[in-house]
Amino acid sequence: MIEKFKAKTVLDVGCGPAFKLNRLIAPHVEQFVGIDQKSAIEYAKQTYNAGHYLDVDLDRISDFENEPLLSQKYDFIIHAAVIEHLKEPDQLLSFIKRRMTLASHLLISTCDRDRVRGIHNMMSPKPEHVREWNAHEFYAYMVQSGFKVVKFVYLPPNRLTKDDFWKETNKWMWKGDGRCLFYEMAFLCRLSE
């Protein structure tokens, strides 16, 4: 996707240990920046020589507006499986919008609550998930937040081995209550004009 859009600069908001940035993205771009909480950034700095990493509290992102690497525009922004952890996702999406041009793309993902637990279960068993959405709610939220959804797909969890994938697929297939193994929603977005 980075190559398809000819992205030269990438910002990963919630990069974790920066594995994806370094293995999948770095070879294809001129500059990449990862931001996340302290322990993840310390690991990334100790492990990788390339890229820039900043320790940022994503719930207080506006405190970092003057950081030079966070005040520029990016061709491609990634925000994968993080928004459900934030108390103030509106603030973060506003920050992301200010880092985009009309030509920029945002890849954002989160789990689909209905596909994980079924449509009648609104409570997350994960206390770290402050807010969860289903596909319709999240699509509307992105549009309301000033984004145009270009593409939407469901993905399986990214941490499954091949054996686990088949075991989980078999288990989920027989539930019959709307739950599904492919529960990670990925939205490719641009700014609304």
Q: Which domains does the chain have, with CATH numbers?
A: 9-191 (3.40.50.150)
What token pair was written down for 24? 């999948």
- Give me the phi and psi of 142, to 5 degrees please: -65, -45
- Give average pLDDT by consecutive 10-residue segment, the chain, 193 residues: 92 96 94 97 96 95 89 97 94 97 98 84 80 95 98 78 60 53 89 92
Residue ranges of the alpha helices (H) in the chain?
A: 19-20, 38-47, 89-98, 113-117, 135-144, 162-173
Give the per-residue pLDDT at 138: 98
Q: Which pTM does this prediction carry?
A: 0.88
Give the per-residue pLDDT at 114: 87
